[in-house]
Amino acid sequence: MNFPEQHELHKRRFGRNLGVALALAAFVVLLLGLTVVKVTRGDFEPASVQQGATNG
């Protein structure tokens, strides 16, 4: 099966598409980082568990 030749439009919009792709990838990395930080700090633990940790 032959793929059709790439349209001139796709070449012209490569920079824009790449920018959007990088922005979305950065957003995913950001979400991952936030999740790791929040989980590590125990932000998602129930309030009773957090209270216990504070009181030692």
Tokens of 44: 């998602």
Q: Does 12 help bind another protein (rule: CB under 8 A)?
A: yes
Question: Binder to another protein among 24, 25, 33, 51 (CB under 8 A)?
Answer: 33
Per-residue burial over 18-36, b = 16 or more CB atoms within 10 Å of its CB, e = otherwise: eeeeeeeeeeeeeeeeeee
Interatomic CA distance for residues 55 and 48, integer angstroms: 11
Contact between 42 and another protein per CB under 8 A: no
Which of 1, 2, 3, 7 touches another protein by CB under 8 A? 7
The contact set with another protein (CB under 8 A) reads: 7-9, 12-13, 15-16, 18-20, 30, 33-34, 37, 41
